[in-house]
């Protein structure tokens, strides 16, 4: 019996993995149990992405799934999930700083529309937070941590969740942990 004293059926329901638990690694199940105990991650944020990949849900608010193209993770896939915590929101809001001279245009426009410091701060907050939130939501481009999986024979096998790597990092340490914990369950996913 799982350490949280739930039956397998109860876990399937709480974790949202009814119908495909046999393709969810023990590592991911253990991560779900820890998340449930710690209460810091919204498990449905992850299982909803799994249901989207399974065709059970018709939409998602995060970026499209993509295949890793380099390093040891090459050949595996990741789907972002958005937990909604302040750190993830900040990362998403900061995307605007990678958008050429958008920041300068926003600041210049705010100065032009404002008659004082209070008005300026409201205008900047609106542009940098409220409108950025709307733009990300409208374009279904929220980013966050990763659900790592691999398709095999027409079915997805869900292996683990991991934090998004920083630009330039290989993710090899993520692969090493995944291989160490998941290879014995799904060796066919690691053979190619």
Which is nearest to 24 in space by CA: 191, 178, 149, 177? 149
pLDDT tens, per residue, the chain with 192 residues? 445 688 999 999 999 999 999 999 999 999 999 988 888 778 998 999 999 999 998 888 788 899 988 889 999 999 988 766 556 566 655 666 666 677 777 778 888 888 888 888 888 877 776 676 666 556 555 556 889 999 999 999 999 998 765 555 567 889 999 999 999 999 999 986
Task: Provide the terminal-to-terminal Cα distance of the chain, rounded to the nearest Å.
Answer: 34
pLDDT at 89: 60
pLDDT at 158: 98
Q: Where along the chain do the CATH 3.30.2310.20 domains lie?
A: 8-83+144-189
pLDDT at 154: 96
pLDDT at 71: 87
Encode burial over 51-60: b for 16+ CB neighbours within 10 A, e otherwise. Answer: bbbbeeeeeb
| Element housing 98 (H / E) | none
Write the CATH number of the domain with boundaries 8-83+144-189.
Answer: 3.30.2310.20
Which residue in the block uniquely carries the two structure tokens 């659900």? 147
Could you tell me the strand order of the sheet in which 77-81 lies? 66-67, 77-81, 145-152, 155-162
pLDDT at 1: 42
| Element housing 158 (H / E) | strand 155-162
pLDDT at 48: 93
3-class secondary-structure state, position 191: coil
């Amino acid at each position: 019996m799982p350490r949280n004293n739930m039956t397998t059926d109860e876990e399937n329901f709480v974790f949202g993995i009814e119908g495909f638990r046999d393709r969810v690694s023990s590592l991911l199940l253990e991560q779900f149990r820890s998340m449930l105990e710690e209460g810091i991650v919204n498990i449905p944020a992850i299982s909803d992405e799994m249901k989207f990949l399974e065709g059970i849900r018709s939409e998602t608010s995060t970026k499209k799934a993509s295949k890793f193209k380099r390093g040891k993770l090459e050949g595996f896939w990741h789907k972002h999930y958005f937990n909604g915590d302040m750190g993830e929101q900040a990362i998403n809001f900061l995307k605007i700083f990678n958008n050429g001279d958008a920041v300068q245009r926003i600041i210049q426009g705010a100065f032009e529309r404002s008659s004082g410091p209070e008005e300026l701060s409201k205008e900047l907050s609106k542009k940098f937070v409220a409108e950025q939130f709307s733009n990300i939501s409208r374009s279904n481009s929220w980013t966050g941590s990763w659900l790592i999986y691999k398709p095999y024979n027409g079915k997805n096998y869900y292996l683990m969740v991991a934090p998004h790597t920083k630009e330039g990092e290989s993710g090899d340490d993520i692969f090493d942990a995944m291989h160490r914990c998941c290879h014995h369950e799904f060796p066919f996913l690691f053979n190619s």
